[in-house]
Amino acid sequence: MSRSPLPARLAIEPRGPLAGTVRVPGSKSITNRVLLLAALAEGESLLEGGLESDDTIVMRRALAALGIRVSDEGSRWRVAGRGGRFALPGHP
């Protein structure tokens, strides 16, 4: 068995106060839930930080089939909610 070149424990010595911003990646589950909530809402919702994945792309297509408009605005999505009134597929 080969040994890892890294030590089992790595000491980190503090050098003073830190300041910064961390942006965590989105979650496909939360993104899909928020897309659905925005679709159910009345009026427009602006979503930031959503994860673009196969699952969220399929959700956006499904919402479009139900008459919900989702437009890309760079890293944000604008969802035109219909107040819980979905269209039947093929009948806007």
Q: Which two tokens stand for residue 32?
A: 């899909």
- Overall residue count recorded for the chain in this entry: 92
Query: Do residues 50 and 77 make contact, with C-beta atoms less than 8 angstroms apart?
Result: yes
**Claim: this prediction has a pTM higher than 0.75:** no
Q: What is the distance between the alpha carbons of residues 84 and 66, in angstroms, rounded to a whole number?
A: 11
Provide the pLDDT confidence category of residue 1 given band limits of 50, 70 and 90: low
pLDDT surpassing 90 at residue 74: no
Q: What is the pLDDT of residue 2?
A: 65
**In 3D, which of 20, 22, 38 has the Cα closest to residue 30?**
38
- Greater confidence (77 vs 10) lies with 77
Query: Quick one: average pLDDT of 4-30?
Result: 81
Span 52-67, pLDDT tens digits:
999 999 999 999 999 9
